[in-house]
Amino acid sequence: MKLIGEKVVLRPIVMVDAPRFVKWFNDPAVHRFLTRRKINLKEERVWIRSLPKKKDQVHFAIDTRDGVHIGSVGLSIIKRDNCAIFGIVIGDKRYWNHGCGTEAMKLVVDYGFRRLKLHRIELDVYGYNARGIHVYRRLGFKFEGKKRERIRWKGKYYDEIQMGILRNEWQP
Ligand SMILES: CC(C)(COP(=O)(O)OP(=O)(O)OC[C@H]1O[C@@H](n2cnc3c(N)ncnc32)[C@H](O)[C@@H]1OP(=O)(O)O)[C@@H](O)C(=O)NCCC(=O)NCCS
C-alpha cells in the first residue's frame, strides 16, 4: 500500500532499502535523536524480512515524489488499548527542513486515526530535539510528561518528553 502526498510517497519497506537504513542509523547526527541505535546490515535485513508477519507494526519507507528514498515512518500498535507508538526518521540529512517529515507524519497519523480507527497515538522525543518537538506540536501532539534526565548524550543528561494525540483532537 502507498500513501501519496505532495512532497513524499510512503511505500512498503523492501530489502534493497537495508543499506541506506544501516548508513543512516550509524550516523551520529541521526541516531542521536533515536532510540534505535547502531545496527548492522544483517540485523536490518532480519528486521525487514520480519515486517510482513508483524500485524502490530505498520512501517513505510519515505520517498520523495521523484523516487529518492529518504527515511521511514511507522506505528507500533498496542491492540488491547487501541493506541500506537509513532516513530519517524528522515535519515538523509540533505532533506531535513524541507517539509518532508511534516507531510509524512500527517499521512501516517491520518492513516492511524481514519483507516485504523486508533484512539490515541503517542511518542517519546528527546528534550534536545527542538525540531522534532516543533513539528509534533504543530500537528497537534500535546505534552503529557517527561522523564527527567532519562537520556545521556556525550556525558550530559537530558529529559525525554512524552507527547500524545487523541483521535478527537486530530484535524486532518
Ligand atoms: C524530526 C524530523 C522527522 C522532521 O522532519 P523534517 O522534514 O526535517 O521537518 P520539516 O521540514 O517538516 O519541519 C521542520 C520544522 O522545524 C523547524 N525547526 C528546524 N530546526 C529547529 C530547531 N532547532 N528548533 C525549532 N524548530 C526548528 C523548521 O523551521 C520547520 O518549521 P516551520 O515549517 O514552522 O518553519 C526530521 O528532521 C528527522 O528525521 N530528524 C532526525 C531523526 C528524528 O529526530 N526523528 C524523530 C525522533 S522523536
Q: Whose CA is nearest to atom 45 of ligand 1?
A: 89
Decide whether any atom of ligand 1 lies within 6 Å of the 70 Cβ.
no
Residue-level pLDDT at 35: 84
Query: Any idea how long the chain is?
Result: 172
Q: What's the gap between Cα 60 and its chain centre? A: 9
Q: Does domain 3-123 have CATH number 3.40.630.30?
A: yes
- 81 to each of 54, 78, 113, how far by Cα in Å? 17, 6, 14
Give the C-alpha separation, 143 to 63, whole Å.
29
99 Cβ closer than 6 Å to some ligand 1 atom: yes
Hey, is 112 helix, strand or coil?
helix
Q: In this structure, are residues 82 and 119 in contact, taking their beta carbons and an 8 Å threshold?
A: yes
Three-class DSSP category at 145? strand
The CB of 37 under 6 Å from ligand 1? The reply is no
- pLDDT per residue, tens digit, the chain (172 aa), is 999 999 999 999 999 999 999 999 999 999 999 986 678 999 999 999 999 999 999 999 999 999 999 999 999 999 999 999 999 999 999 999 999 999 999 999 999 999 999 999 999 999 999 999 999 999 999 999 999 999 998 899 999 999 999 999 999 8
Query: Is residue 132 within 6 Å of ligand 1 at its C-beta?
Result: yes
| Its pTM surpasses 0.85 | yes
8 A C-beta contact, residue 69 and residue 100: no
Distance of CA 95 to the CA centre of its chain: 15
Nearest CA to ligand 1 atom 37: 96
Q: Where are the alpha helices (DSSP H) in 9-88?
A: 18-25, 28-31, 41-50
| CA distances in angstroms from 120 to 27, 36, 52, 109, 161, listed in the order given | 31, 23, 23, 10, 17
Pocket test for ligand 1, best of 63, 97, 98 (most atoms within 8 A of CB): 97
